[in-house]
Amino acid sequence: MAKVVHLTEIGAGIGQITMMDKDAKNTFSHNFIESIKECFNEVNQSDRYKVIILTGYDNYFACGGTKEELIKIYKGELKFNDLDFYRLVLDCKIPVISAMQGHALGGGFVFGLYADIIVIGKENIYTTNFMNYGFTPGMGATLIVPERLGASLGHELMFTANNYRGADLARRGVPFEVVPKKDVLETAKKLAISLAEKPMLSLVTLKEYLSRYIRKQLPKTVEEELKMHEITFKQDEVLDRIKSVYA
């Protein structure tokens, strides 16, 4: 099994995790999940990094669940929390910067929003498209999306499941950097350099404190999302929508 997520040191105290599952376009394939877990485990066991940049490749940041996974959830053979990687960014001991240089769709966007600092591209598409499949959001989206984007805009994204360009989100006042696609990674690197100048212990301590609210609320949120999935995933229309979207 080829490794499709790579950890590299790009500067003093700065690591970059690059998601590059080109065959699956950074959907949550088994290979993707195992590779990204391996990278974050390495970060948490190491003292060489003070900050991590999380990014994708070409036009893709991350694109959410695979067709096979969604059908398994529909059949009751899988629950989204069985894909236990989605907390990796939140639980990383050091700050993580999401450099969303490409499209971030559904769970892929949610995954990136767990970062401590976020940078997105004006031209790229960002969406919480769960409802386009007919089921309610998962992966803690109902907590982290309003927390990061604001309640009004966050609820709009989840209800409508529409595509939003980064420029659209900038006009709506999202509280993070929105720059041209070509500048996303460089912007993230400049931020990372600033963080890497700080003492490691102070960064770890502040990360633990600032992420405490989300970490405390997330288990209850996931429990409620799973209850909603028990209701919404059982509709025949959901299976039809999954097949149609992936066709």
List the beta bridge partners of residue 19.
5
Distances (CA, A) of 94 to 35, 170, 175, 185, 221: 19, 27, 21, 19, 24
Structure tokens at 37: 């877990």
Catalytic residue among 30, 103, 155, 229: 229
- Cα–Cα dist 92/19, whole Å: 16
Helix (H) or strand (E) holding 37: helix 30-44
- Cβ–Cβ < 8 Å for 121, 101: yes
Please say if 103 is a catalytic residue: no
- Cβ–Cβ < 8 Å for 159, 244: no
Instruction: Give the angle 58-172-176 at the CA atoms, nearest 5°.
Output: 55
Instruction: Indicate the Cα dihedral angle 226, 43, 14, 123, nearest 10°.
Output: -30
Only one residue has tokens 């509280």, namely 175
- Cα–Cα dist 130/169, whole Å: 18
- Cα–Cα dist 113/14, whole Å: 20
Active-site amino acid positions: 229
